[in-house]
A = this chain, B = another copy of it.
Amino acid sequence: MMFVLHPGADQEKIKSFINEFEEMGFSPLVSEGTERTVIGLVGNTKVLDVHSVVETHDIVSYGKRITEPYKLVNRAFHPDDTKVRINNIVFGEGGFQVISGPCSVENEDQIIQVARAVKESGATILRGGAYKPRSSPYSFQGLHQDGLRLLSLAKKETGLPIITEMTNMNQLEYFDDVDIIQIGARNMQNFDLLKEVGKCRKPVLLKRGLYNTIEEFLMSAEYIMAGGNEQIILCERGIRTIETMTRNTLDISAVPLLKKVSHLPVVIDPSHAAGIRSMVSPLSKASIAVGADGLMIETHNDPAKALCDGAQSLDLKQFDELMKEIRRRVEFEGKTLG
């Protein structure tokens, strides 16, 4: 931790500052610059709040933490890629996965029909929402436990592993048959929920919040890993910016950045990123080229009648066409689908 003093800071106060932190067990190092003096603190500074030190010592102009606040997810301390395996498929290590299915599980016919179709087209994991976080209390909130039951049915029918969102910790007991637990963007900083999934031993797909930085995203992954669960897949799904023509702005740079500073696999959700069906194909192509480990694409047997997110869902024929494109491009990158 480093503190930059105001120009002409009082020498007596500097001494007292140094004493204070020496007594707390740190080794303060003073560097005199041409205009400013800088004091570095060496030791276990994790216990200090940098802003508090600044605000409570009037000789200090500002301070900065030297080391990243995340450790377990940090590539600096764990150089090798983490691979997340579900049965015989893998995120990372050249494996590329396509997660597909409807925004919400609506009824048996729908989920079975979609599951069969996306499997046929080449998807490797089935998605479907049972607990839906909706911004309006008047919108369809999902089928809850019944939705989970229908997902299990579709899993049995097709053999596809399933992923679905958990919105509160009391739901965990119903997730036995679920292969990957999804933590949604609006719950990325629901720390109680992160602690809960940190305790279980199932892979977790963690979505980036729509106004959260990469560092905050990694701190949320750190919560899960600190609980002992290392099977984490990061998912970039668009952030909120000043642009209004798309629902969100896909932060495509997040993929190489996350892979640089962390060892976790990264997938992209192009459906939520733009919120517009016609953007799903170009954004999928860009995602493969930029180095993502997978895609999460919403599909529906009849998007015009979908109970949620119909605007961004592909119909089954569109998905089938897109999968041909995806397959060709995954191969071009030297990766393997599935």
Q: Enumerate chain A interface residues (CB-CB to B < 8 A).
A: 2, 4, 6-7, 29, 31-36, 38, 40, 42-44, 46, 49, 51-57, 61, 64, 66-67, 69, 76-77, 133-138, 167-170, 186-187, 189-193, 195, 209-216, 219-220, 222-223, 226, 239-246, 249-257, 260-261, 273-279, 282-283, 285-291, 303-304, 306, 308-312, 329, 332
Contacts and interface: CB of A to CB of B under 8 A. Distances in A.
A17 to B, nearest CB: 11
Q: State the 7 A-B residue pairs at the shortest beta-carbon distance, nearest first.
A: A211-B211, A52-B310, A51-B311, A56-B304, A289-B289, A286-B290, A286-B286
B273 A253 contact: yes
Chain A facing B: main interface SS: mixed
A31 B29 contact: yes
Nearest to A281: B256
A167 B192 contact: yes
B250 A67 contact: no
How many of these chains are in the complex? Answer: 4
B290 A283 contact: yes
Contacts of A215: 244-245
A182 B319 CA distance: 40
Contact of A219 (B136, B219, B226, B256): B136
Contacts of A54: 311
Nearest to A280: B256
B55 A277 contact: yes
A42 B33 contact: yes
